[in-house]
Amino acid sequence: MTTASVAQRSSAFARPTAKTGVWSWMTTVDHKRIGIMYGVTAMVFFVLGGVEALLIRLQLATPEGQVLSADQYNQLFTMHGITMIFLVVMPLGAAFFNYMMPIMLGARDVAFPRLNAFSYWAFLGGGIFMYSSFFINQAPDGGWFGYAPLSVKLPGHGMTVYALGLIILGISSTVAAVNFLTTIVNMRAPGMSLMRMPVFVWMTFVVQFLLVFALPVLTVALFQLLFDRTLGTQFFGDSTSNPILWQHLFWLFGHPEVYILILPAMGIVSEILPVFSKKPLFGYPVVVFSGIAIGFMGWGVWAHHMFAVGLGPVANTAFALSTMFIAVPTGVKIFNWIGTLWGGSIRFKTPMLFSLGFIAMFIIGGLSGVTHAIVPHDYQQTDTYYIVAHFHYVLFGGAIFGLFAGIYYWWPKITGKLLDERVGRLHFWLMLIGFNLTFAPFHILGLQGMARRTYQYPKNYGFDFWNLVSTVGAFVIALSILTFFWNVIKTRKRGETAGADPWDGRTLEWTIPSPPPEYNFAEIPVVHALDDFWHRKYVEDKEGRLVPVPAGAQEAAGHATEGYGGDDHGIHMPSQSYMPLIAAIGLPIVGWGITFEQYWLAIVGGVVTFAGLYAWALEPSTEELH
């Protein structure tokens, strides 16, 4: 090709170069910026899902509540569940996969930077698409697990939006998973063997496998649901179709999904406990292998969500046993965490408090989970508030506490400022107290027989007191979240500067400046051990006590603790692009077109997406050189 034709083609598809301002964010392919966008967006959805929860709790504060109609209630609990799972916990995990995982591996970016941007924009598009249904007062209203045939028969657009929205979000997560798997397999720094990877990266790895295999199952079921609703097919909706087919498909996705939600938090906590106990993680290989074991065993337990549908004693017994078995690798992790704390010199900083809160609350949720594994017990509990108690202990007490631990831990790396410890402690205690006030009473209400997904309960059933307590608790949680936002605002300008390594960390992200430069590492590090950074800082004396390596010796050995990001040596980073954004914009447009049966609109959306993908393939690999 002649020089002239290169120049011509690159001017047709010039790559954007803005380094600041809105366009620099819209066109970014930097994994750190994408991580921040995931985090901020997930927080916005957390507030929305929280407001929905507060409305639900206001309605249930007293018997025969009048705040919401039955229809509004159905929409709110469905959107609350969908929001918290798909728009809060999964993307908060993705925020850390994006921001931290490449740095912890010693890489400069993920394997496919533009695909990474596309994942984010598709996630945002899917979320906006779902929420747009509130404007026509027809949000999804068939529960987050959308049981068919109900979800086929429900009138209005709600469950069509559900199917399409989850398909869009599934595209986002699937391409992200492929991207992260490739990154972990191919982009580790020299010496970073698999068994030297930080546990958080390992758990990320397991989660991406789960996503790649679990999401297609859901996607198939969602397409069938969509076809039943829009084209009149009969996969689920008719008297001849199998009434529990949907449940099998959904939970074959849904149980791996709960590990997709919890494993990132387990990884985060496994990073934090060693740092704040000044000890290596107890039994690193066991924590890794139990995570992998969970990844495999998670496929063999789905029918514990279906004990009451009448699968018969053989199936029920088999799934009861497999469910009790999967508690073993989970229990193993808990022993490893406690072993890490044992004899450590513990610093109760905010990330540590949230990690300890995670362990305690997750144990409660795990134990009530094992009680559902006992089939006769589950007959009693299913569809009651006891189940709602259980999954909030694992999803909120577990995942959300673990993710907040990560936020407090990595905040100084991401922003360069420490969050305030006093406000952080206040946030933690308010959240812990509010959480238990809200959800512990659900165990009692459930065992008393209060049904979930019901917008009112009658007087004189003995449900009044604990419901009121729970509603008060929900507002205490809301207050705790406000405390967090206050902490963010307060420390934005006046916060203490963090420096590269504020917590005396063990992993590679603490070797580079806070916030990291665009290229992360001026020189790609060479890794010699698990917890490599720690070994550069400390050696053991004859009695096994830790002694810091003298600063001079570090320099001499080429193991500087800071200053990796000094000079960029002309490092070449991937160029920005408009195309991921354009390709993603088409997706919700297709969704609206199908929902309202305006097929021309769906075609417009499809054309936009394909144009974006086409131009993506053709655009020059770097920005024009002037």
- Write out the residues near ligand HEM by the rule CB under 6 A: 50, 53, 56-57, 77-78, 80-81, 84-85, 89, 143-144, 388, 392, 395-396, 399-400, 438, 452-453, 474, 477
Out of ligand HEM, Cu ion, none, which partner does residue 388 contact, by CB within 5 to 8 A per kind? ligand HEM
CB of 301 to Cu ion, least distance (A): 6
Peptide bond into 515 cis (omega under 30): yes
The yes-or-no answer on residue 173 being catalytic is yes
Q: Is 377 one of the catalytic residues? A: no
255 interacts with, out of ligand HEM, Cu ion, none, CB within 5 to 8 A per kind: Cu ion
Q: Active-site residue 255, yes or no?
A: yes
- Of 27, 151, 270, 438, the catalytic one is 270
Could you tell me the smallest distance in angstroms from the CB atom of residue 526 to ligand HEM?
40
The minimum distance between CB 550 and ligand HEM, in angstroms, equals 47
Distance CA 39, CA 32 (A): 11
Here the tokens at position 620 are: 């020059």
Q: Phi then psi for 384, rounded to 5 degrees?
A: -110, 175
Angle at 100 between CA 94 and CA 102, to 5 degrees: 100
DSSP secondary structure code for residue 198 in this structure: -
Which helix (H) or strand (E) segment holds residue 319: the answer is helix 313-341
Residue 333 is among the residues annotated as catalytic for this protein:
yes
């959308």: which residue's tokens? 146
- Active-site annotation holds for 355: no
> Which of these, 442, 622, 390, 531, lies nearest to 104 by C-alpha position?
531
Q: Which CB sits closer to Cu ion, 43 or 252? A: 252
Q: Map the footprint of Cu ion across residues 170-189, applying CB under 5 A.
A: none
Any contact of residue 229 with Cu ion (CB under 5 A)? no
Task: Check 382, 452, 454, 538 and give the catalytic one.
Answer: 452
Beta carbons within 8 Å of 471's beta carbon, 6+ residues apart? 57, 58, 60, 61, 438
Q: Is 390 a catalytic residue?
A: no
Q: Is 304 a catalytic residue?
A: yes
Complex with ligand HEM: residue 233 or 456, whichever CB lies closer: 456
User: Quick one: DSSP state of residue 596?
Assistant: T
Beta pairing partners, 451: 384
Q: CB nearer to Cu ion: give 116 or 247.
A: 247
Residue 85 near which of ligand HEM, Cu ion, none (CB within 5-8 Å, type-dependent): ligand HEM
Applying CB under 5 A, the span of 253-261, 379-387, 436-444, 455-463 interacting with Cu ion comes to: 253-261
Which one of the listed residues 80, 349, 506, 559 is annotated catalytic? 80
The interface mask with Cu ion, positions 397-416, x = CB under 5 A, is --------------------
Nearer to ligand HEM, 89 or 527 (CB): 89
Active site residue 392: no
Q: Which is nearer to ligand HEM, 388 or 589 (CB)?
A: 388
Name the minimum Å distance from CB 91 to ligand HEM. 12
Q: Which does residue 589 bind out of Cu ion, ligand HEM, none, counting CB within 5 to 8 angstroms by kind? A: none
Classify residue 369 as exposed, middle or buried by CB count within 10 Å of its CB (0-12, 13-18, 19+).
Answer: buried
Residue 412 CB, shortest distance to ligand HEM, in Å, is 25
Q: Which of 255, 390, 537, 559 binds Cu ion (CB under 5 A)?
A: 255
Name, in order, each residue with C-beta under 8 angstroms of 233's C-beta and a sequence gap of 6 or more: 224, 227
Task: From 163-171, 203-211, 248-256, 332-340, give the range in contact with Cu ion by CB under 5 A.
Answer: 248-256
Least distance CB 312 / ligand HEM (angstroms): 26
Q: How many C-beta atoms lie closer than 10 Å to residue 163's C-beta? A: 25
Burial class (CB in 10 A: 0-12, 13-18, 19+), 436: middle
Query: Of the two residues 282 and 466, which places its CB atom closer to ligand HEM in the complex?
Result: 466
3-class secondary structure per residue, 471-529: HHHHHHHHHHHHHHHHHHHHHHHHCCECCCCCCCCCCHHHHCCCCCCCCCCCCCCCCCC
Strand partners, 546: 540
Give 384's strand partners. 451
- Candidates 129-137, 250-258, 388-396, 564-572; binding stretch for Cu ion (CB under 5 A): 250-258
Shortest Å distance, C-beta 246 to ligand HEM: 14
The least distance separating ligand HEM from the CB of residue 516, rounded to whole angstroms, comes to: 29
74 or 277: CB nearest ligand HEM: 74
3-state secondary structure 254-308: HHHHHHHHHHHHHHHHHHHHHHHHCCCCCCHHHHHHHHHHHHHHHHHCHHHHHHH
Closer residue to ligand HEM (CB): 130 or 477: 477
CA distance 335 to 443: 25
Q: How far apart are CA 358 and CA 341, in angstroms?
A: 14
**Residue among 30, 141, 228, 257 flagged as catalytic:** 257
Give min distance, CB of 48 to ligand HEM, in A. 12
Q: Find the catalytic residue in 30, 52, 109, 228.
A: 109
Residue 538: strand, helix, or coil: strand
Residue 32's contacts (CB-CB under 8 Å, 6 or more residues apart) are 98, 99, 414, 515, 516, 518, 520
- Please, is 342 exposed, middle or buried when counting C-beta atoms within 10 Å of its C-beta (0-12, 13-18, 19+)? exposed
Q: Is the dihedral of CA 316, 322, 328, 334 positive or negative?
A: negative
Q: Is 305 among the residues known to form the active site?
A: yes
Q: Between the CA atoms of 104, 105, 106 and 112, what dihedral angle is there, to the nearest 10 degrees?
A: -110
Active-site residue, from 330, 350, 384, 470: 330
53 binds, among Cu ion, ligand HEM, none (CB under 5 to 8 A by kind): ligand HEM
Closest to Cu ion by CB, 32 vs 255, is 255
- How far apart, in Å, do the first and last CA atoms of the chain sit? 19
- Residue 144 annotated as catalytic: yes
* Matching residue, tokens 């659900």: 442
**DSSP H or E stretch at residue 547:** strand 546-548
- Among residues 15, 157, 248, 333, the one annotated as catalytic is 333
Nearest approach, Cβ of residue 434 and ligand HEM (Å): 8
Residue 257 or 509: the one with the smaller Cβ distance to ligand HEM is 257
- Per CB under 5 A, residues contacting Cu ion are 255
Catalytic residues: 80, 109, 144, 172-173, 255, 257, 259, 270, 304-305, 330, 333, 452
